[in-house]
Amino acid sequence: MRRKLAAGNWKMNGTTSALSELDALARAFPSPTIDILICPPATLLHRAAETVRETGIATGGQDCHAAPSGAHTGDISADMLVDAGANAVILGHSERREDHGEQNETVRAKARAAMDAGLKAIICVGESLEQREAANTLDIIGGQLSGSIPDQSTGENLIVAYEPIWAIGTGKVPTLEEIGEVHDFIRNRLERRFGEGVGRSVRLLYGGSVKPNNAADIFAVSNVDGALVGGASLKAQDFSGIIVALQKA
Ligand code: PEP
């Protein structure tokens, strides 16, 4: 059985006052029956981890460098994330791929470093609107999966997030059939590459404008094991609605 996961990506949002949202979340779910993960900006990570220590909520990073240390001004290594209290890291988010020109090989190297450090790597894949309209979605996703996911992946250290770029922060969501088609495709690809045991144990998240009012429908789709949530993870009240929907799914 794959344990369901509600993961929040705060992106470049939040200063000290945002920790009160985490506190509220921890109080709302004293013993969650699903995994809950919040990935705050790096400046808040350690304090966020302290805020939710000994609760059922985990914390993660939003990126890491592929190297363990060295002359990489402004970057953060996987070990540093662990040291700050992370147990997971988001990698290959479309905003990193677009804003920082990250290619699949870079994402794969970062994922290797993350896994070696004991982190769960949440590897993001997803097509642009242009690619969807040209009926290239599955080709694009297939290439991102084979290029970004390292060979050492297991059901424990790998989570895949399907995030159509055009659905992120736009309020647009694919149809449930479209989500199901991509998630079934990803599951199939993972089973073919890693064998049925590992392939079936990797959790698959959907991300892109998940809100309390559409979460239950999305969580009912086959091979959707949870969500990667941006905007609606910033407020405990909104994220709580998504968590409740996932707990019931
Ligand atoms: C994201 O950034 O990963 C995301 C899914 O954002 P939003 O929920 O705001 O669309």
Residue 114's pLDDT band, with cuts at 50, 70 and 90, is very high
pLDDT of residue 216: 98
Task: Specify the residue with its C-alpha closest to ligand 1, atom 4.
Answer: 230
- DSSP β-bridge partners for residue 228: 7, 207
As a whole number, mean pLDDT of residues 124-128 equals 98
> If you average pLDDT over every residue of the chain, what do you get?
97
pLDDT of residue 2: 97
Question: 159-174 pLDDT, tens per residue?
Answer: 999 999 999 999 999 9
Distance CA 26, CA 177 (A): 34
| Whether residue 191 has pLDDT greater than 90 | yes
CA dist., res. 46 & res. 64, Å (int): 15
Q: Which atom of ligand 1 is nearest to the CA of 170?
A: 10
Residue 151: its pLDDT value, please? 98
Contact indicator for 163, 228 with CB cutoff of 8 Å: yes
Q: What is the pLDDT of residue 1?
A: 84
**DSSP 3-state percent helix, strand, coil across the chain (nearest 5):** 45, 15, 35
pLDDT tens digits for range 194-204 = 999 999 999 99
Question: In angstroms, rounded to a whole number, what is the distance separating the alpha carbons of residues 140 and 127?
Answer: 6
Question: Residue range 209-229: average pLDDT?
Answer: 98
Is the distance from the beta carbon of residue 39 to the nearest atom of ligand 1 less than 6 Å?
Answer: no
Residues contacting residue 14 through CB under 8 Å, at least 6 positions apart: 40, 41, 44, 234
Ligand 1 atom nearest residue 227's Cα: 5
Structure tokens at 140: 């694009």
Contact 82, 62 (CB under 8 A): no
Q: Is the whole model's pTM more than 0.85, yes or no?
A: yes
CA-proximal residue: ligand 1, atom 3 (nearest): 230
User: Once rounded to an integer, what is the mean pLDDT over residues 58-77?
Assistant: 98
SS3 206: strand
Question: Which of 91, 163, 170, 211 should be mutated for ligand 1, with most atoms under 8 A from CB?
Answer: 163
| Ligand 1 pocket check for 76: Cβ under 6 Å | no
Residue 20: its H or E element: helix 19-28
- Residue whose CA lies nearest to ligand 1 atom number 2: 230
Question: What is the model's pLDDT at position 86?
Answer: 98
Give the pLDDT score at 184. Answer: 98
